[in-house]
Amino acid sequence: MKLQNLVIIFILLVMVFTASCQNTETDYIIEDEIEFTFKALDNIEYIFGTGKIMNIVYPWDEIEENVKVFGRLITLFGDPLQITDDLENAYIYVILATHISGRTHILSAYSGPSGPAIGGGREDGIEEAAEALKRYILQAEPSDFVYEGYYMDFSLRIYMSVEDGRANYSERQLTEAEHRQVMERWFPEIF
């Protein structure tokens, strides 16, 4: 009888283990929708000493998707903590990600040299929080906005907007005089 009980226990353990290993990707996606909450913070100092974790979308993706990211961030978090006319530093949000366990992470969502990105520290679980934030951003409908700035690597004036969910993007080559004016404004100590 003892052998029979051991066999039954073994079979039950195998069944529990097998069930826990099935559909892990689906379970993760379902749980991910409720694993984190996100809140915009109003102190940029929280992200000093942090770095890029991942792109939200890539610069070589459709430009409209790059434009819509800013509109999506406005939908979710309101106005950015900081906005500039330098496309490689156009906006930044500081975001508190809170896991259902109570664990927290400070993240940033920003426009950087490689396009819209998420940054943060290097602590355990930060990549999971960043991936959840990325999915949260990409599911949002973009708000209307207008942005005008410069991409000085190629001496371009940039115009981006979202109107009624439709992204618009255009660029214009700066004249030499316009280029110099922008550089003098950005770097007065050099000029």
- In a domain? residue 24: no
Of 55-64, 80-89, 177-186, minimum mean pLDDT range = 55-64
Domain total of the chain: 1
The pLDDT, as a whole number, for residue 171 is: 96
- In a domain? residue 136: yes
Tokens of 173: 């080559």
Predicted TM-score of the model (pTM):
0.79
The pLDDT, as a whole number, for residue 47 is: 87
Phi-psi region of 149 (alpha: psi -120 to 50; beta: other; left: phi over 0): beta
**Which is nearest to 142 in space by CA: 39, 56, 26, 41?**
56
Domain that holds residue 98: 36-186
Q: CB–CB of 97/104 below 8 Å?
A: yes
- In a domain? residue 172: yes
∠ Cα 33 37 38 (to 5°)? 120
> 132 falls in which pLDDT band (50, 70, 90)?
very high
- In a domain? residue 88: yes
Residue type for position 45:
E
CA distance 170 to 92: 22
Q: Average pLDDT of 139-146?
A: 98
Question: Could you read off the pLDDT of 103-123 as tens digits, one per residue?
Answer: 999 999 999 998 999 999 999
Q: Average pLDDT of 132-145?
A: 97
- In a domain? residue 12: no
- In a domain? residue 18: no
- In a domain? residue 6: no
∠ Cα 37 88 123 (to 5°)? 40
